[in-house]
């Protein structure tokens, strides 16, 4: 899995920095400051959210649903049955041309040369020359000389500018697919309910981390929750009818709050918090996305990563569990036996009924060691662990503690 640079069912998926309250009741989350822009963009599903009485929030300039009444209930619906998210704010970009494969092999730290059959997908990062993460994305091979990338909404303009800046006169055309909407259906019954709702029996045969055209949809077996699931791309004008059909088949609408707690439990990075332009994959738990071979593939940022490995990586990303009062949050200080660190993500886990998070700590830190986090001016005991915390609806916390 690590060697191939991909994740299985519900593969590692991108998000942007949303901070959820993690309360045990209805979560009224807040958006990270760097995403605060004028709330003037609406997805094709905006009228559906309003009709359902969603609590709307600004998210990177998009008006998005935070929850539809109870963030906790939406979280459990995905873990136990099937929920769906409007992810139409994500940027879909089609790439084609005679030089597109060579271009992507330089643009990404992972190697799209691994994609041998149409429909296969790859998760990876675009890096800057210092080895920092410009963004993380998924790339699908559509056909010879044709690919599709899905990048984060809040970094759309930055990503397109970066991608265009490195075309260097090559035969590559980038086409933002603003004509498409996107729905993520996630949960143990996601495939079953989608097949029934949209008359797509062939989704049962779709392999993890593959996508293909099915009728009017491009369907991928990917996600950002740690559950089985699908992501459906469809013409914007047809998105609402698909949403309503899924609701009619028992799929529960879920908002950004549940999406954040689900990805945190699943051990999935969040761009802008767990990694950014100033942190490398080596210190963000993402070295598995760096394809070092072949050695002559000089992707952007490779020199910086190689130098970092020679010097020695000084920080790493570990999981953290906390059973005390209060909820761990991003940016809170962490103390370990080897020095100071910081929480990059944190929140209340509805599945585990306790606080969890990711902490960037000294490289000498070992899973299983105790640590402390600063909560409201007090230092509270916690424990460093390996993540993920939950996968396929099952708590891994006991296993984590036994193997830490």
In sequence order, the β-bridge partners of residue 342 are 333, 360
Contact by Cβ (8 Å): 316, 285: yes
Class of domain 18-85+178-265: alpha beta
Residues 92-173: name the CATH superfamily.
Answer: Aminomethyltransferase beta-barrel domains (3.30.70.1400)
Q: Helices 256-265 and 71-80: crossing angle, nearest 10°?
A: 50
pLDDT value for 39: 52
pLDDT at 307 over 80: yes
How far is residue 202's CA from residue 55's CA, in Å, rounded to a whole number? 35
334-388 pLDDT, tens digit per residue, is 999 999 999 999 999 999 999 999 999 999 999 999 999 999 999 999 999 999 9
Name the nearest CA neighbour of 70 among 253, 310, 307, 285. Answer: 253
346-357 pLDDT, tens digit per residue, is 999 999 999 999
**Mean pLDDT, to the nearest integer, of 136-144?**
98
Q: What residue spans in the chain does CATH classification 3.30.70.1400 cover?
A: 92-173
Residue 89 backbone phi and psi in degrees, to 5: -75, -15
Position with higher pLDDT, 238 vs 33: 238
Q: Give the pTM.
A: 0.90
Q: What residue spans in the chain does CATH classification 3.30.1360.120 cover?
A: 18-85+178-265
pLDDT value for 401: 52
Residue 90 backbone phi and psi in degrees, to 5: -65, 150
174-214 pLDDT, tens digit per residue, is 999 999 999 999 999 999 999 999 999 999 999 999 999 99
Topology of domain 314-403 in CATH is Elongation Factor Tu (Ef-tu); domain 3 (2.40.30)
**Mean pLDDT, to the nearest integer, of 28-42?**
50
272-303 pLDDT, tens digit per residue, is 999 999 999 999 999 999 999 999 999 999 99
């Amino acid at each position: 899995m690590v060697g191939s640079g991909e994740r299985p069912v519900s593969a590692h998926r991108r998000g942007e920095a949303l901070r959820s309250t993690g309360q045990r009741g209805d979560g009224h989350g807040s958006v990270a400051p760097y995403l605060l822009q004028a709330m003037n963009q609406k997805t094709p599903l905006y009228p559906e959210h309003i009709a359902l009485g969603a609590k709307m929030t600004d998210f990177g300039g998009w008006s998005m649903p935070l929850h539809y009444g109870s963030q906790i209930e939406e979280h459990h619906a995905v873990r136990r049955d099937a929920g769906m998210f409007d992810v139409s704010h994500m940027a879909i970009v089609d790439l084609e041309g005679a030089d597109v494969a060579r271009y992507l092999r330089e643009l990404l730290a992972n190697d799209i040369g691994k994609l041998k059959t149409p429909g296969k997908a790859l998760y990876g990062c675009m890096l800057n020359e210092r080895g920092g993460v410009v963004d993380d994305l998924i790339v699908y091979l559509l056909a010879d000389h044709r690919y599709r990338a899905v990048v984060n909404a809040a970094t759309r303009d930055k990503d397109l500018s970066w991608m265009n800046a490195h075309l260097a006169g090559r035969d590559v055309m980038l086409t933002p697919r603003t004509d498409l909407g996107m729905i993520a259906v996630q949960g143990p019954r996601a495939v079953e309910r989608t097949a029934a709702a949209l008359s797509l029996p062939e989704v049962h045969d779709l392999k993890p981390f593959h996508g293909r055209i099915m009728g009017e949809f491009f369907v991928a077996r990917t996600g950002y929750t740690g559950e089985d699931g699908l992501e459906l791309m469809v013409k914007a004008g047809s998105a609402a009818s698909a949403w309503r059909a899924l609701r009619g088949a028992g799929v529960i609408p879920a908002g950004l709050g549940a999406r954040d707690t689900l990805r945190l439990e699943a051990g999935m990075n969040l761009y802008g918090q767990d990694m950014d332009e100033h942190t490398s994959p080596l210190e963000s738990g993402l070295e598995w996305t760096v394809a070092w071979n072949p050695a002559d593939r000089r992707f952007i940022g490779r020199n910086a990563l190689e130098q970092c490995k020679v010097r020695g990586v000084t920080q790493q990303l570990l999981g953290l569990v906390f059973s005390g009062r209060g909820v761990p949050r991003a940016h809170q200080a962490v103390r370990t036996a080897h020095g100071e660190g910081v929480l990059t993500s944190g929140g209340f886990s509805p599945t585990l009924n306790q606080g969890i998070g990711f902490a960037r700590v000294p490289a000498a830190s070992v899973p299983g060691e105790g640590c402390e986090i600063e909560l409201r001016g007090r230092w509270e005991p916690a424990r460093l662990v390996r993540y993920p915390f939950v996968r396929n609806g099952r708590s891994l916390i006991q296993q984590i503690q036994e193997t830490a």
